[in-house]
Structure 1
Amino acid sequence: MHQELVKFVREIYSSNEVIPLHAPIFAGNESKYVTETIDSTFVSSVGKFVDEFESQIENYTKCKKAVATVNGTSALHTALYMSDVQRGDMVITQALTFVATCNVLYHMGVEPVFVDVSMESMGLCPMKTGKWLDENAFIDSAGECRHKFTNRKISAILPMHTFGHPVQLDGFLDLCSEWNLKLIEDAAESLGSFYRGQHTGTFGKFSALSFNGNKVITTGGGGMVLCQSDLEGARTKHITTTAKVSHPFEFFHDEPGFNYRLPNINAALGCAQLENIGTLLDKKRQIANNYMSFFNRSDYVFFKEPEYAKSNYWLNCVICPTKKSRDQLLLETNRAGVMTRPIWKLMSNLPAFKHCLSDDLSNSKYLEEHAVNIPSGISKELM
């Protein structure tokens, strides 16, 4: 199987060189726009491409306001901050995620509560979240959700759309309404993914996208806060630009802010990348369909988008029949120059988060031992 997979991947990419997991592709106006930025000398936080990039993301996702930031982590921090998540609060999230999700919580002084993922999406499960709340939470006289055993405030639910597969958002909206919680989407991996026809990141008041070098489109580094009102979008922009009050020459900052501005040169790259997003997503879906056909003949299960969603298939994933077969696949493919990677180690097993509350995490533990990411990028030959 493993050698057959290596051969199949090389056929997809028509290459005998090392095949990366997900490399960026520059097949449009990237050089033109970046050169224009350099020629203008506006390469930092001021320039036309930042505004254009934000406007294009607004049009694509149908959010009210998009605010560009320097990376996805800063976008998530801003989304949590704007949602009034406070030091000492608890936030329900998944243990099966990239560490950035929990790093933000840690540095905000917020305690993650780890609830299991759904096998349908690999993202936070609303049914298990509801069960945990029923058993561990109550609504106090002020209408706040609190942990029964510590009385700490539970302020938000933070699902992550794993590998671009949307979680079941209707379930979380119901839970947030019932328990007076904020919904904040970690949509870092899901640009181009839709839940029942609506773009991910547009269900809660605030969410975060990432444009890291390995994402569907890239700005080199970069992120975006998606806001669902013009007023909140304006304040998000204000907060991320050091809370500076506009003035011809004086510096006055009316509240503590963040220097999270995306440089114009990065935004130029993003504008060019976004022009080709339709083609990129079509090609990624074609690759996913090829993998589906290949693995249908085996004991390995290709992870498909949930029935309720249209996924961007950012990183394709296969579920191996055993941990031993997973380890063999990882060893033999990487040895043959085809990059594959295991899913992340559970956050609940990392030193910084071992003390955090969790449910049994049974699905998360299974995926940790059986899931493997396989090459998912678009080469120029595929464009």
Structure 2
Amino acid sequence: MSYLDVRHATSVIAEIAAPSGGRVALHEPQFSGAEWGYVKECLDTGWVSSVGSFVDRFESDLAAACGVKRAVVVVNGTAALQIALLLAGVRRGDEVLTPALTFVATPNAIAHCGAIPHFVDSSWDTLGLDPKGLSDWLDRIAEPHADGPRNRITGRRLAAVVPMHTFGHPVDMPGLLKVADRWELPVVEDAAESIGSLQDGRPLGGRGLIGATSFNGNKIITTGGGGALLTNDDTLAHRAKHLTTTAKAPHRWAFSHDEIAFNYRMPNINAALGCAQLEKLPTFVRAKRALARRYSAALADLAGLRFFAEPDGAESNYWLNAVILDDPAQRDEFLTATNDAGIMTRPCWTLMCDLPMYRECPQMDLPVARAIEARLVNIPSSPILGMAGKM
């Protein structure tokens, strides 16, 4: 274990993130395209709510960017993931396998379905769900059943598995899909952080049955607030659209609804912002990858710390850059020094199984997830930091 010179590490990061001094955010949106024009069109025409040409256009353009047949845009990523789980067949009282190391939206979406998160460990290679560890765990606790595998300890059905691509780095999806196929588990991809990332040359979000993504203000592209479902199944997409638009039957004037559903529609004005942002996605990804290369080179010779690089076979969007400290005892010292210097950094999320509402949920041993939580720090990652003129 090497000792980290925290002061020196802070100065190295500051040279890249804030060469002119001043405070620097962890991740800021970048508006440098057609955003003003598209939003003004909504205001000028009055099409600002949940119907309008930009909603249809954003769904079409997003599907193409994510390599799927269909995208259905909604109010936020949590709503997208909740609907994706329902469409995958998750029912009240089921268990859903998901990493303990994730943002709280992942288990929240599971809980909103009346299901129970079942927490699994992560991989040092990807920071995401570990397929080998999951396979070994299922061999220990799962048993086949007519309507899907069951947890022999709790007796509950294992209804789905939800990988999350941590900070934009792809989970080993080929490995995970093999495990899921063996156990007949639908895969619902949480791609909230990974728009623009590739694995084996293919985008993420559409590898499983259905996926969900987010366009929150801190994501690589933003609609202010928003999310989307991604799928290659036209029937699922049609059902998603129906469920997220209050289950209203099409009619010129009548309000007829055929089931209890959700008002999760994305407004046209948000979709307009998304259309403009999506046009800049390749530029943002190039900038963020350039920033990652600069960090990697600058930090390469520092003892006690390493820059986390994309997994083999991946082209990550590096949504949030991350460093791993050798000594977890130095994490808070590093966070204090960088934030005191005006460089916004943050630790990884508290493991979901340690939050009060999820402490009683089933879990496997989590040695890797706990080590990542204790040692990982995110550093400034705004795309502007990697663009020409900032390099």
TM-score under structure 1 normalisation?
0.97
Which residue is equivalent to 1:343?
A: 348
The 5 A counterparts of 1:1-383 are 1-13=5-17, 14-140=19-145, 142=146, 144-298=148-302, 299-379=304-384, 382=387
How many residues end up aligned between the 2 structures? 382
User: Could you give the per-residue CA deviations for residues 246-267 of structure 1, whole angstroms, max 9, x where no partner exists?
Assistant: 1011001122221110011111
**Runs of 4+ off more than 4 Å:** none
Q: Is the 8 A contact 1:220 1:266 kept in 2?
A: yes
**CA deviation digits over 1:122-177, x for unaligned, max 9?**
1010001001100000002x252001122210011111000000101112211121
- For the structure 1 residues 332 and 77, does the alpha-carbon distance in structure 2 shift closer, same or farther, using more than 3 Å as the test? same
1:288-320 per-residue CA deviation (whole Å, 9 max, x = no partner) reads 001111121112111111002111100000001
Distance 1:288 1:318 in 2: 11
Aligned-pair distance for 1:9? 3.7
Give 5+ residue unaligned stretches, structure 2.
none
Mark the CA change 1:321 to 1:23 in structure 2 (over 3 Å): closer, same or farther.
same
Query: What letter corresponds to residue 293 of structure 1 in structure 2?
Result: A
> Relative to structure 1, is the Cα distance of residues 380 and 300 closer, same or farther in structure 2, using a 3 angstrom cutoff?
closer
Q: Percent identity?
A: 47
Residue aligned with 2:187, SS: strand
Q: Secondary structure at the match of 1:317?
A: strand
* 1:284 alignment partner, SS class: helix
In structure 2, how many angstroms separate the alpha carbons of the residues matched to 1:205 and 1:359? 25
Give a deviation string over 1:165-206, Cα, whole Å, max 9, x none. 010111221112111111001100000111212211111121
Question: 3-state SS of the aligned residue for 2:23?
Answer: coil
Matched to 1:241, the amino acid is T
Q: Unaligned 5+ residue runs, structure 1? A: none
My pick for the range that moved more, 360-369 or 195-204, is 195-204
Q: Distance in 1 between matches of 2:220 and 2:159?
A: 31
Quick check: 1:204–1:228 contact (8 Å CA) kept in 2?
Answer: no
> Does structure 1 conserve the Cα–Cα contact (< 8 Å) formed by 2:121 and 2:130?
yes
